Amino acid sequence: MLHLQQLIRRRNSNPVINDEKQTEKKHILASFSLLQKKREVLVNTRNRNNNFIQLNKCIKNYPKYYEAYIYRGKMYLKMKEFKLAYEDFNKAIAIDSQKQIGYVGKGDCLRLMGNFENAKSVYTDAINKKKNNVSLLLRRAICSMELKKY
């Protein structure tokens, strides 16, 4: 009886690593965390396709992964794919509307597309999430200057 309890305890304390889905999940998360640590890699065009593949896998397996949408949105912004970036930032905001960075990305997309009025509004929403963000105040001021409303 004691031997059986030890086996059960051992089985519960050592999760099965060979399970294919679990191994794939660990690989995807490890790859994505590598992307988080090395943000400069996102700009490197040679690795861009691999980065998109990893981010797409993350989003496919974990559709509520806020940071994956943020990073993919930033990559789209750098590639000047503003509509795709805008969609990713909107999805991130839908997942967690309290985090400021989704609003910042959305505002940047609108500003770079020349939609200064809406960008200014989005930046204001972001400022309301967290006060005293100088970067956002400057971005909103740029939109006001472009609109000549200062």
Point out the least confidently predicted range of 44-53, 56-65, 71-80, 102-111. Answer: 44-53
Is 130 inside any structural domain? yes
Residue 72 inside a domain? The answer is: yes
Query: Is residue 137 one of the residues assigned to a domain?
Result: yes
* Phi then psi dihedrals of residue 113, to 5 deg: -85, -5
Q: Please report whether residue 10 resides in a domain.
A: no
Which is more confident, 71 or 32? 71
Report yes or no on 9 lying in a domain: no
Residue 105 belongs to what H/E stretch?
Answer: helix 101-112
The whole-model pTM stands at: 0.67
| DSSP, res 115 | -
Domain range for residue 119?
16-147
Residue 63 to residue 55: CA distance in whole angstroms: 11
- Total count of domains within the chain: 1
Q: Residues 107-138: pLDDT tens digits? A: 999 999 999 999 999 999 988 887 778 888 88
11 within some domain: no
- For residue 42, the domain's CATH number is 1.25.40.10
